[in-house]
Amino acid sequence: MVTQKTIGILGASGYTGAELVRLLLRHPRVDLKVLTADRRAGQSMGDVFPQLAPYDLPRLVAIDDIDWAGVGLDLVFCALPHATTQKVLKDLLAKAPATRVVDLSADFRLRDPAAYAKWYGHEHHALELQKEAVYGLVEMYRREIKAARLIANPGCYTTCAQLPLLPLLKAKAIETDGIVVDAKSGVTGAGRSAKEEMLFCEVSDGFHAYGVGGHRHMAELDQEFSKAAGREVVVSFTPHLVPMNRGILSTIYVRGRRGRTAEDLHAIVSERYAREPFVHVLPFGKTPQTRHVRGSNMTLIGVAADRIPGRAILVSTLDNLTKGASGQAVQNMNLVLGFPETMGIDQPPMFP
Amino acid sequence: MVTQKTIGILGASGYTGAELVRLLLRHPRVDLKVLTADRRAGQSMGDVFPQLAPYDLPRLVAIDDIDWAGVGLDLVFCALPHATTQKVLKDLLAKAPATRVVDLSADFRLRDPAAYAKWYGHEHHALELQKEAVYGLVEMYRREIKAARLIANPGCYTTCAQLPLLPLLKAKAIETDGIVVDAKSGVTGAGRSAKEEMLFCEVSDGFHAYGVGGHRHMAELDQEFSKAAGREVVVSFTPHLVPMNRGILSTIYVRGRRGRTAEDLHAIVSERYAREPFVHVLPFGKTPQTRHVRGSNMTLIGVAADRIPGRAILVSTLDNLTKGASGQAVQNMNLVLGFPETMGIDQPPMFP
Amino acid sequence: MVTQKTIGILGASGYTGAELVRLLLRHPRVDLKVLTADRRAGQSMGDVFPQLAPYDLPRLVAIDDIDWAGVGLDLVFCALPHATTQKVLKDLLAKAPATRVVDLSADFRLRDPAAYAKWYGHEHHALELQKEAVYGLVEMYRREIKAARLIANPGCYTTCAQLPLLPLLKAKAIETDGIVVDAKSGVTGAGRSAKEEMLFCEVSDGFHAYGVGGHRHMAELDQEFSKAAGREVVVSFTPHLVPMNRGILSTIYVRGRRGRTAEDLHAIVSERYAREPFVHVLPFGKTPQTRHVRGSNMTLIGVAADRIPGRAILVSTLDNLTKGASGQAVQNMNLVLGFPETMGIDQPPMFP
Amino acid sequence: MVTQKTIGILGASGYTGAELVRLLLRHPRVDLKVLTADRRAGQSMGDVFPQLAPYDLPRLVAIDDIDWAGVGLDLVFCALPHATTQKVLKDLLAKAPATRVVDLSADFRLRDPAAYAKWYGHEHHALELQKEAVYGLVEMYRREIKAARLIANPGCYTTCAQLPLLPLLKAKAIETDGIVVDAKSGVTGAGRSAKEEMLFCEVSDGFHAYGVGGHRHMAELDQEFSKAAGREVVVSFTPHLVPMNRGILSTIYVRGRRGRTAEDLHAIVSERYAREPFVHVLPFGKTPQTRHVRGSNMTLIGVAADRIPGRAILVSTLDNLTKGASGQAVQNMNLVLGFPETMGIDQPPMFP
């Protein structure tokens, strides 16, 4: 008989929490045992997310009420806000050191404590864990992830930019200066907290850039791009808000190096992902739409020639709540717990 | 070893066709063997629906190029337009009489040839099949469906109105005159053909009623409501278009009969659906939202007291592409082929 | 030379405040002298509503910092929340009794203090003003409004329901029981305060009813409908939320009295509004869309026959921020200050 | 007494036609005398655009039924498709040579017949007129426009990109290679013709790029950018489709030349437009939203520093139907007919 692994979700009342539940409810090997939401403790998930009312789920509890050693979870997803995360996980892993953790916050993504302190304005509160953490971009760190206890699940913007660019940087196929990543995100990326600028009437029927010229998540891009290229890489990056629920699309402008054409770049990316279950490269010249990955864990990448000789335009897209957050987190869980990598996250996109 | 049943989809290039593919790709007991689309014959499904490009699916063919006897399909979903359907199925069942059929058009929903002729303006072209067809509202005709060869899958508007009202009419718990069904639908209900009034700019950021005072699908309502009540029932029904992709919501105004209160009506509906996997009745006074059934086969029903004594307001919702079309069609297929009823259609809703 | 009247807007940082500014910026006879917003005092309107940054407008002030007697405004629009309104206006009119006031809150709409106490749960704080206030539904109370000091601008839902129904109730052309008003509103109706349920992702791509069976604004409907009919009239009324910014649409189900047909009802409504600048009745059988009144002060009304003999379906629509709030408020101002009634509010709808 | 000028609109059944009518209905100096729409000839504007039903407008006629010499229009707006335009205007100006024309198509925007032939695949059919035409970007060609008979109204994408970039290119303040214009448009830009890819369900709740690497309108950009810079300038340009009705936003990546900082670029742009009624430059570091120009003729421009030293990011936005088409066309008409430049197009944006 197949045994189930016991799972907890910390911060289950946010969108990434709900998305984890959606995916795990159909995962054949896990048992959702603990769901936390401090401000909604005592309520059912159906009170917080009515779409889950028909399902049999544990009641929400407060984190402080959990006996980590006693409950003995196999794996915990942590979908808590920045900074809180460090404290909670430090405590959890001290009391129940055998627990595996997939953390969806940005707290453990930076390897360099100095970079962390610079971008976040304070010392890291769990330096030992920061050293231990493995960056959870599956397509790049699959081997390390399998052996990890603490996985830092990548950000949605950064996953969408890394998947097309990393193979090109590693192959030294593009110039490392002058790269432009123009990124557009759906509104779930902002989470569920009530803010005036995320009200329907402030977001619908319009479009805008935000955080122009400076965005905290760039540190994660700098780290991985520089590592891949073997030299410092800093890209221009502008996030925008699209009046849609889910999806990120990045339009990326690059120059081929040493005569590399757009076709050459397409060949490199295509070959790199030929056997990846969650990255699909379109035929040369075709570019993807966010709606064609909605609800799925798939990433679509297109490569086209710019009309300026020697330049190429890449377009990549993924669902920020699945491959950009909860889906990739389940993919990490599958690796860590020894399940088939695609288990529970193999459903096709929902379009329309 | 588990054997697969072979399946065909006629009219796979429309939205209900794509939705059937989405659901069946994860169904463990079926093999999608034939996909037709006359105008797109020769193309791949990924050409027509890019979200399906990463999947291994048969190429689209024209219906006339299929050798029905030779291909020996176990079951065919028919998602063709009205009238065409009659001719195609007549031919198909003549050549391959052992094939089971779930028809998603309105062609076989009316039992009375006179009613059909009145609403559609011509005689039915396949009268024998019309007699044979079983109406596929699973919660009402489960037993008949299991034995049927040809199933007329109900309409989306009518499923959404029937599920809350049929138990009340059968119990003679509400007055049969003065019932108002005010229905609102997402835009996928209009299909994928290019019409000016379905352009983004004609539909977005607005709302309107259409077909006020007369709508072809009412014949189906009249038939089932009258049968349930044991007397002629004609309701006021107005469809509206909501700027959303999926979902139908019906707001239904009724008067209790013989002192029946709104609570009484809630009790009747709750009891009726207590063991149904795809109908969930909310606690008294709560009403549902379309987004909480998005992508799932679930129907949510709420019952509340009107402020006018003796009157109640029911609100029901379902996803017009799943429980209102392709999901219910798979539910019918599961019954016909002897699979567990929820197989392949048990995924939770996608919200947000 | 034409003199300008001086105008104040209390509560200018909300959507109705911004809409008043939009309309009044192009009104040739008014001078916007005072704009208040307690929490944004000291900021410019462009800080609060960037679309107004290019315009020359007074800086926002706190209400308590205004010397009502000294500033000597000709007219004040009050767009403050319920209850606050009563206190502010009592104080204002005590200190500057010659000021005319158009109040956009619900505070002065009910004539009966007992009805007010019942629906709002407390005694009215400005009983004398309540008695003095004139209900500002222009098409019905034009004469009284011209002479009034304090005008209670009607609600958006209630204006949309009253305009089609009042002429029929006055003419005793429809049965007064069994009337159903199924109403749908855009999201601006909920105002600009940050609430989880009004976030983009909670509202977009979906539809739902709210406040089913009980809604505070019904008191206003009961009052005006009963007055028109000369007997108590209580209608079934359900509000719904549409994923659109602006617009209200009411679908209204009635039975003709004494053989009145839908055509008869259409004739009554058409004749009643033949000379009204802001009510347009469509040809019999046609029904309107919200998007065709977007941004304008127009109300569109359609009347169609139900398929049930003797019954009719009326559909009315208006923009909740213009005819449903700020536009009607300017219409009231025009009457009160002796300007042409359509001045400043005669721009055509914006579609698409 | 003020005399009215007589005006015609060719192609009044499209979105730019409707927008012209919306603006001109409130213009105090024009008389809308002729409206054409070949396929809708004989119908009223209210049949084609129900929001215009309450207005008194001439009935639609076919172009071939107009006696150009006899009707004696002062000015004609031409909103016809590419190529048709050339033939119609050649004929019109031959028969009524004193007519002024503002053409909204792309037919007369290119000065170089060879460039035209290259991009459009055929010789120009009205070479003489092409030579005569003046490019109608008002802020750049105000003097030439006043004297022109035939004005080529600029495209929406190109207006949005030119207004921020032209002053910088003229000042030689930025490098001319490596400029990236990442542009995003609302759906009205695609017009009103019924195409599958513009259906609500294909556009809503998603985002995508199109025409990557090649777009016909780039020829217009190349022409004006190169002229401004005094050398050939070719920019990377990618258009995207946003699920919104109106609005274009361009995110533009540049490098300062000879030590020019982002602040320097901001100063140049700010000074250039200080006295322009329809261009507003935001404070340094702030960037605009499309919704804050909705329905108005305003262009908003923001300039921010990139985090990469020496680089800047500009964001510009306008409403593609007003400043990007019909509003700028009226602005051109005002110049040509000697009216104040802002007449009829001075209404504030509509937000929300």
Rounded Cα distance between B13 and A307, Å, is 34
Specify the pLDDT at position D186: 98
Contact B50 A346 (CB under 8 A): no
Over pLDDT 90: what percentage of chain C?
Answer: 94
C76 contacts C49 by C-beta, under 8 angstroms: no
Q: How far is A26 from chain B (nearest CA, A)?
A: 7
Is D253 touching A (CB cutoff 8 A)?
Answer: yes
Specify the pLDDT at position A3: 85
Please tell me which of the candidates C196, C202, C245 has its beta carbon nearest to residue A201.
C245
Neighbours of C171 (CB within 10 A): 18
Assign D114 to helix, strand or coil.
helix
pLDDT higher than threshold 60 for residue C261: yes
Task: Indicate if A156 belongs to the active site.
Answer: yes
Neighbours of B95 (CB within 10 A): 14
DSSP 8-state class, residue D351: -
Q: How far is D268 from chain A (nearest CA, A)?
A: 19
**Chain A residues closer than 8 Å to C200 by CB:** 187, 198-200, 202-204, 243, 245
Please tell me which of the candidates A199, A243, A244 has its beta carbon nearest to residue C192.
A199
- The C-alpha R_g of chain B, in whole angstroms, comes to 20
Contact B15 D201 (CB under 8 A): yes
Neighbours of A57 (CB within 10 A): 17
Rounded Cα distance between D189 and D187, Å, is 5
What one-character-per-residue DSSP string does A105-150 give? Answer: SSTT--S-HHHHHHHHSS--S-HHHHHH-EE--HHHHHHHHHT-SE
Contact C53 D280 (CB under 8 A): yes
DSSP 8-state class, residue D79: -
Please tell me which of the candidates D178, D218, D247 has its beta carbon nearest to residue A207.
D247
Q: What's at D231, amino acid-wise?
A: R
pLDDT higher than threshold 60 for residue C141: yes
**Chain C residues closer than 8 Å to B254 by CB:** none
The strand pairing partners of C78, in sequence order, are C10, C103
pLDDT tens digits for range B168-212: 999 999 999 999 999 999 999 999 999 999 999 999 999 999 999
Rounded Cα distance between A114 and B352, Å, is 37
Contact D49 C245 (CB under 8 A): no
Please tell me which of the candidates C51, C282, C288 has its beta carbon nearest to residue D349.
C51
Find, among A179, A166, A265, A146, the residue nearest to A224 by Cα: A166
Contact C199 A199 (CB under 8 A): yes
Is C226 touching B (CB cutoff 8 A)?
Answer: no
pLDDT higher than threshold 60 for residue C1: no
DSSP 8-state class, residue C271: H
- Interface C:D, Cβ pairs < 8 A: 81
C138 contacts C331 by C-beta, under 8 angstroms: yes
Find, among A104, A158, A173, the residue nearest to A316 by Cα: A158
What one-character-per-residue DSSP string does D160-178 give? Answer: HHHHHHHHHHHTT-B-SSS
Rounded Cα distance between D274 and D345, Å, is 19
DSSP 8-state class, residue B309: T
Contact B238 C218 (CB under 8 A): no
pLDDT higher than threshold 60 for residue D1: no
Contact C184 B240 (CB under 8 A): yes
Find, among D278, D330, D343, the residue nearest to D100 by Cα: D330
Pick among C15, C48, C201 to test the A interface (most A CBs inside 10 A): C201
Rounded Cα distance between D238 and D233, Å, is 16
pLDDT higher than threshold 60 for residue A151: yes
- The C-alpha R_g of chain D, in whole angstroms, comes to 20
A153-185: b (≥16 Cβ within 10 Å) or e: bbbbbbbbbbbbbbbbbebebbbbebbbbbbbb
Is C340 touching B (CB cutoff 8 A)?
Answer: no
Instruction: Read off the pLDDT band of B1 (50, 70, 90).
Output: low
Average pLDDT, chain C: 96
pLDDT tens digits for range B208-264: 999 998 877 789 999 999 999 999 999 999 999 999 999 999 999 999 999 999 999
pLDDT higher than threshold 80 for residue D2: no
Contact B288 A50 (CB under 8 A): yes
Rounded Cα distance between B185 and C207, Å, is 9
Please tell me which of the candidates D244, D249, D307 has its beta carbon nearest to residue A243.
D244
Q: What's the rounded mean pLDDT across residues D318-341?
A: 98
Instruction: Read off the pLDDT band of A1 (50, 70, 90).
Output: low
Q: Between vectors from CA C190 to CA C168 and to CA C336, what angle results, nearest 5°?
A: 60
Chains that touch C (3 or more CB pairs under 8 A): A, B, D
Q: Between vectors from CA C111 to CA C108 and to CA C114, what angle results, nearest 5°?
A: 105
Rounded Cα distance between A80 and C199, Å, is 20
pLDDT tens digits for range D105-135: 999 999 998 888 888 888 999 999 999 999 9
Is B7 touching C (CB cutoff 8 A)?
Answer: no
**Chain C residues closer than 8 Å to A15 by CB:** 201
A267-284: b (≥16 Cβ within 10 Å) or e: bbbbebbeeebbbbbbee
pLDDT tens digits for range C176-228: 999 999 999 999 999 999 999 999 999 999 999 999 987 777 899 999 999 99
Q: How far is D229 from chain C (nearest CA, A)?
A: 29
pLDDT tens digits for range D129-138: 999 999 999 9
Q: How far is D191 from chain B (nearest CA, A)?
A: 9
Assign C327 to helix, strand or coil.
helix
pLDDT higher than threshold 60 for residue B76: yes
Instruction: Read off the pLDDT band of C262 (50, 70, 90).
Output: very high
Over pLDDT 70: what percentage of chain B?
Answer: 100
Catalytic residue, candidates B78, B156, B160, B201: B156
Report which secondary-structure segment, H or E, holds A24: helix A15-24
Rounded Cα distance between C335 and C344, Å, is 12
Specify the pLDDT at position D216: 72
The residue with tokens 């003095």 is C132
D168 contacts D205 by C-beta, under 8 angstroms: no
Q: What's the rounded mean pLDDT across residues C104-113?
A: 94
Q: What's at A289, amino acid-wise?
A: Q
Backbone angles phi, psi at A61, to 5 degrees: -125, 165
Better pLDDT: D215 or B98: B98
Token couple for C259 = 């053989």
For chain D, positions 190-209, list CB contacts with chain B under 8 A: 192-196, 198-205
Instruction: Read off the pLDDT band of A15 (50, 70, 90).
Output: very high
Instruction: Read off the pLDDT band of D281 (50, 70, 90).
Output: very high
Contact C288 D347 (CB under 8 A): no
Out of C335-349, D91-105, D106-120, least confident range:
D106-120
Which positions ≥6 away from D140 have C-beta within 8 Å?
A: D162, D166, D224
Contact D200 B195 (CB under 8 A): no
ipTM, two decimals: 0.97
What does DSSP say about strands A60-61 and D100-103: parallel, antiparallel, or unpaired? unpaired
DSSP 8-state class, residue B252: E
Chain A residue nearest residue C199, CA to CA: A199
Contact C199 A196 (CB under 8 A): no
**Considering Cα of B147, then B149, then B153, then B158, what sign does the dihedral take?**
negative
Largest Cα–Cα distance in chain B? 63
Q: How far is B350 from chain A (nearest CA, A)?
A: 7
Which positions ≥6 away from A220 have C-beta within 8 Å?
A: A106, A109, A110, A154, A155, A158
Neighbours of D55 (CB within 10 A): 17
Better pLDDT: D279 or B117: D279
**Chain A residues closer than 8 Å to C201 by CB:** 15, 187-188, 192, 198, 245
- Interface A:D, Cβ pairs < 8 A: 149
Q: Between vectors from CA B180 to CA B179 and to CA B182, what angle results, nearest 5°?
A: 155
Whole-Å CA distances, D84 to B103, D16, D17, D60, D152: 46, 16, 16, 18, 15
B114 contacts B138 by C-beta, under 8 angstroms: no
Contact B245 D201 (CB under 8 A): yes
Whole-Å CA distances, D188 to A31, A231, B198, B232, B316: 49, 45, 13, 48, 34
D315 contacts D288 by C-beta, under 8 angstroms: yes
**Chain C residues closer than 8 Å to A192 by CB:** 196, 199, 201
Token couple for C39 = 């929490």
Contact B200 D194 (CB under 8 A): no
Is C4 touching B (CB cutoff 8 A)?
Answer: no
For chain A, positions 280-339, list CB contacts with chain D under 8 A: 285, 287-291, 294, 302, 304-308, 311, 313, 315, 317
pLDDT tens digits for range A266-306: 999 999 999 999 999 999 999 999 999 999 999 999 999 99
pLDDT tens digits for range D193-204: 999 999 999 999
Characterise C93 by phi-psi region: left (phi > 0), alpha (psi -120 to 50), beta (else). alpha
**Chain A residues closer than 8 Å to D245 by CB:** 205
Contact D352 C188 (CB under 8 A): yes
pTM of this prediction exceeds 0.90: yes
Assign C26 to helix, strand or coil.
coil
Token couple for C115 = 């009805």
A207 contacts D244 by C-beta, under 8 angstroms: yes
Rounded Cα distance between C52 and C24, Å, is 12
Rounded Cα distance between C19 and C326, Å, is 6
Specify the pLDDT at position B120: 86
Average pLDDT, chain A: 96
Burial class from Cβ neighbours inside 10 Å (0-12, 13-18, 19+) for residue C84 reads middle
* Range list of β-strands (E), A229-276: 236-241, 248-255
Find, among A83, A75, A89, the residue nearest to A128 by Cα: A89
Find, among D246, D340, D335, D261, the residue nearest to D292 by Cα: D246
Q: What's at D323, amino acid-wise?
A: K
What one-character-per-residue DSSP string does A268-326 give? Answer: HHHHHTTT-TTEEEPPTT---BGGGSTTSS-EEEEEEE-SSTTEEEEEEEE-TTIIIII
pLDDT higher than threshold 80 for residue A317: yes
Rounded Cα distance between B283 and C220, Å, is 30
Chain B residue nearest residue C188, CA to CA: B205
